Structure 1
Amino acid sequence: MGETEGTTEEGTARTPEDRALKAKHRAMWALGDYPSVATHVIAELGGVLVRECGIGPGDRVLDVAAGSGNAAVPAALLGAHVVASDLTPELLETGRAAAAAAGAELEWREADAEDLPFADGEFDTVMSCVGVMFAPHHQRAADELVRVCRPGGTLGLIDWTPEGFIGQMFATMRPYAPPPPPGAQPPPLWGDEEHVYGLLGDRVTDVEARRRTLRVDRFARPEEFREFFKAAYGPTIAVYKANAADPDRTAALDADLDALTARHLADGAMDWEYLLLTAHRTTDA
């Protein structure tokens, strides 16, 4: 998660190490049941991002690292021409079914956020809802977001902040995870304003970055959150798998996650902080 390895200016996934890393990420997000997280825990974030991007009928929209489409589907229901792209085909299949049930028509494409198979300036809006933050190479992913957005078009991002609950969950799991490749950067850095400003640089203008919170009232006790994420959320499942042969480390991880959740849980609810960032691609980018 957040690794920087094997990158060249020409593209990514060009080395055996990088191809293996992408395969690992693809498999991680196929673990468990991420669509249940998107549907039952963070569903409202997709609609928030679509509204803040000002998406409307006829707009050409790309949702990068779309997962099962919690932002792509609301955009399509507004009449936009939407492409939902993701590295993990299992999530796309779930998204297709959910879109059909909702009466939404959109295109689903398996694609690497760091090497998007789209033309320069192809889309009016390029967005990602807690998705692109997990691409291994931050700068390459940011470059691709900008490249496929038309001059004057809109970029929209929602990402978990390092200081918020999910950012702190990743920090809590980090000591239990296998060592990342050299130069790794945590995914929640995408929730740090200065980090994202540096990634996008002077290729965007009209940047608005706002920290907001998502109210999560699904979990009455820390153990309920822990067991749900151990069963449904790929990164959490992967860390527990890495410690499966060590009951003491597994118990310690349980205790650390429960302690974190207890600090954030009050009256059966938590507020999860995220960064909402919108910008326009400069006309001379």
Structure 2
Amino acid sequence: MGDVTGASDIDRAVKAKHRAMWALGDYSAVADQLIPALGRTLVDACGIRPGTRVLDVAAGTGNAAIPAAMAGADVVASDLTPELLDVGRLIAGRLGVELEWREADAEALPFGDGVFDTVMSCVGVMFAPHHQAGADEMLRVCRPGGTIGLLNWTPEGFIGRMFATMKPYAPPPPPGAQPPPLWGVEDHVRALLGERVVAVEARRDTVRVDRFTTPEEFRDYFKKNYGPTIAVYRNIADDPERVAGLDRELAALAREHASPTGAADDGSGMAMDWEYLLLTARRR
């Protein structure tokens, strides 16, 4: 079973910051309004069916865990941030879906070896700072012959480029932390999993986001709702010039990726295609 007793004070401080960051804003809105299809995409790719024992790592508010439960699986949704789990419980309750919600660190999962048929993560484990530790834990709790399923943003895609845009405005990462979008690089994920898996299948795809009518609307939505973006703006809050600079850069990034839709009432509107890597494998 994963053990946090050997964690350093630095590691504990990093995890506390991560927990607080993801509690900012309204991640449930981001997941439900912008990328609701991604959870179902991962569930389908994993072949989840009634009776499957599933662990969703860094589940957030249940974007993948709830569809897995709706497919009849026996699901545990785990996340470092209890505020997200609380929202997930409410969403599941409204839908009449039953699953277990468990506060847990992706790098030290509180579950026994090989107890799940499928261990998955939808744009979740990628944000744990130590990639090998997260991968090792996912493999440890997956039974031999079970399925590992991962859906993560790519570095070249919109969200990966958004993190690159925010990086100069963010505090320096803690020692040993790796960039989240590396989980969207197939060779990186294959190296993390190593020879412990077989039947690896990977493909890049995109999800279309057409909720925003202007690049500025996108930027302001993320400033209000998305924990990592809120945290970066808080880091530069006392420097109006840097705030204005990040404002311009995020709007420019959205403008670069946008295509017109004409979906708004006034005939305006835009759509963006956000790239992700979907990878499944079977534990050897």
**Category of TM-score, reference length = shorter chain:** over 0.9
Instruction: Give the structure 1 partner of residue 162 of structure 2.
Output: 169
Given the alignment, which residue of 180, 183, 186 partners 2:173? 180
| Residue pairs, 1:120-131, within 5 angstroms | 120-131=113-124
Other-structure match for 1:271: 273
Equivalent position amino acid for 2:144 in 1: P
Equivalents in 1 of 2:71, 2:173: separation in Å?
40
**Matched residue, 2:198:** 205
Hey, what's the Cα distance between the residues in 1 that align with 2:44 and 2:5?
32
Paired AA for residue 282 in structure 2: H
**Are residues 1:21 and 2:21 paired?**
no
Q: 1:238 aligns with which of 231, 243, 255?
A: 231
- The Cα RMSD (Å) is 1.1
Q: 2:131 aligns with which of 123, 126, 138?
A: 138
Residue equivalent to 1:3: none
| d(CA) in 1 for partners of 2:4, 2:132 | 11
Deviation of residue 198 (structure 1)?
Answer: 0.6
Cα deviations across residues 99-153 of structure 1 (Å, max 9, x unaligned)?
Answer: 0111110000000000000010000000000000000110000000000000000
Partner residue, 1:219: 212
Cα drift, residue 12 of structure 1? 7.3
Quick one: distance in 2 between partners of 1:174 and 1:188?
Answer: 12
**Cα separation, 2, equivalents of 1:86 and 1:11:** 15
Ranges of 4+ aligned residues in structure 1 off by more than 3 Å: 9-13
Q: What is the rounded CA distance, in whole Å, between the counterparts of 2:25 and 2:189 in structure 1?
A: 30
Helix, strand or coil for the counterpart of 1:269?
strand
1:165-219, Cα deviation, whole Å (9 max, x unpaired) = 0000000000000111233321000000011011000000000110000000011
- Amino acid of the residue matched to residue 237 of structure 1? I
Distance 1:176 1:79 in 2: 44
- Normalising by structure 2, report the TM-score: 0.95
Distance 1:12 1:146, change over 3 A: farther
CA distance in 1, matches of 2:247, 2:78: 34
Count the aligned residue pairs: 274
Distance 1:12 1:184 in 2: 19
Q: Which residue of 2 aligns with 1:95?
A: 88
Q: List per-residue Cα deviations over 1:35-55 (Å, max 9, x = no partner).
A: 000100011000000001000
For 1:118 and 1:258, the matched residues in 2 are separated by 43
Superposition pairs of residues 3-82 of structure 1, within 5 angstroms? 14-82=7-75
Q: Which runs of 5+ in 2 are unaligned?
A: 261-269
In structure 1, runs of 5+ residues without a counterpart are 1-8
Match of 2:254 in 1: 261
Q: Is the 8 A contact 2:107 2:130 kept in 1?
A: yes
- Do the aligned residues in 2 keep the contact of 1:83 with 1:106 (CA within 8 Å)? yes
Question: Aligned partners of 2:19, 2:72: CA distance in 1, in Å?
Answer: 30
Counterpart amino acid of residue 64 in structure 1: V
1:4 matched to which residue of 2?
none
